[in-house]
Amino acid sequence: MTSSAMPRRYLMCRPTHFAVTYRINPWMDPAAPYDNALAVSQWENLRQTFLDLGHTVELIDPLPGLPDMVFAANGGTVVDGRVLGVQFRDAERADEAPAYASWFRDRGFEVHEPKHTNEGEGDILLAGDVLLAGTGFRTAHASHAETQEVLRRPVITLQLVDPAYYHLDTALCVLDETNIAYLPQAFSPGSQAVLQQLFPHAIIATPQDAAVLGLNAVSDGRTVVLPVQATDLTASLTKAGYQTIGVDLSELRKAGGGPKCCTLEVRS
C-alpha cells in the first residue's frame, strides 16, 4: 500500500426519503419490509466515520419521490474540478441527475451534460492516473469515450457480467493509487485479464464478501471503510497493511447499496 491518506471531500445525501418502491437491480424487493429510521441512523454513522477520519462531508438536500437519491456516488464523476454529469438508465432515478448537477453549479463547478447513459462513480472510478469504467448493466459503453474526453484521463473499459454486481463499485474497490480489491467472476474473461495485468497485487475478494456488498467500500489510501459483514475482505486488507472500519448499512443494502454508493468524492 502507499500511505497516501489525504483528507477527502465527500458529498452525501441523507436517506430521509429512502424506500424500496421499485426494482431496478436484483437486491431490491419492493414487497420486503425496510426501516427508514434505521437507514438514517446507519447512514449517520457512516457520515460520522468519515468526519472522525478527518474528511469533509458536504450534503445535498434529499428530494421527496427520489428514494435512491441517498446513493450520491451516482450523482457525478469529479476529477481535477471537472464534473461529468450523469444520465440514469432508469426513469425512476432520472430526476436525480439535474439535482446533483445544480449542486455542483451552485458551487462554481462547470458541469458537462452527458450525451450517453452514465451513472457516475457507480461505474467510473479513479485509480491512480486512470479511470476504470464499468459497462454491461447501467453505464453505456459509448459514455466511456465521452468520460475520457471530459475528464482527460485514460479510460479502461471493464465488462460486468453478473447482474448482482450491476455497478462497477459493487465488484471493485480502489484502495490507493496503485491497488484495488475486486471479485474476478463479476467481470468478463477479457476484463479479468486486463485487471490482472494492471493490478498484479490486487486483493481478490471472496463471493461471501461480494454478497454483503463488501467491495462497496471507501478508501482514503490508508483506512478502508467497508461493510462490517465482509469478514474475509477485512482480514485480507488488514494483512495487506490497511486499516479497516466496519460499518453496518444493512437497510441500504436492501436497495443494492453500501458505503461507497452513499459517497461521491469531490476532487477539486
Q: Please identify every residue annotated as catalytic.
A: 167, 261
Q: How far is CA 51 from CA 15, 29, 248, in A?
A: 18, 32, 17
Position 122 contacts ligand ARG (CB under 6 A): yes
Compute the least distance from the CB of residue 1 to ligand ARG, in Å.
Answer: 24
Position 118 contacts ligand ARG (CB under 6 A): no
Position 74 contacts ligand ARG (CB under 6 A): yes
Q: Which is nearer to ligand ARG, 28 or 212 (CB)?
A: 28
Beta-sheet pairing, 218-219 with 223-227: antiparallel
Position 167 contacts ligand ARG (CB under 6 A): yes
Using CB under 6 A, which of 68, 96, 220, 265 touches ligand ARG?
68
Position 174 contacts ligand ARG (CB under 6 A): no
Contacts of 68 (CB under 8 A, 6+ apart): 18, 74, 92, 93, 96, 255, 257
Q: Which is nearer to ligand ARG, 85 or 257 (CB)?
A: 257
Using CB under 6 A, which of 34, 71, 104, 187 touches ligand ARG?
71
Give the interface size with ligand ARG as a residue count (CB under 6 A): 16
Which cell goes with 211?
454478497
Where does residue 237 rank: exposed (0-12), middle (13-18), buried (19+ CB within 10 A)? Answer: buried
Q: How far apart are CA 199 and CA 244, in angstroms?
A: 21
Nearest alpha-carbon partner for 70 in 33, 98, 107, 96: 96
Position 182 contacts ligand ARG (CB under 6 A): no
Q: How long, in residues, is the chain?
A: 268
Q: In three state form, how does the secondary structure of 11-57 look?
A: EECCCCCCCCCCCCCCCCCCCCCCCHHHHHHHHHHHHHHHHHCCCEE
Compute the least distance from the CB of residue 190 to ligand ARG, in Å.
Answer: 23
Compute the least distance from the CB of residue 241 to ligand ARG, in Å.
Answer: 26
Which region, judged by CB under 6 A, interacts with ligand ARG, from 10-18, 76-84, 184-192, 251-259? 251-259
Q: Are 47 and 254 in contact (CB under 8 A)?
A: no
Q: Which is nearer to ligand ARG, 245 or 262 (CB)?
A: 262
Position 24 contacts ligand ARG (CB under 6 A): yes
Position 125 contacts ligand ARG (CB under 6 A): no
Per CB under 6 A, residues contacting ligand ARG are 24-25, 28, 68, 71, 73-74, 93, 122, 167, 169-170, 255-257, 261
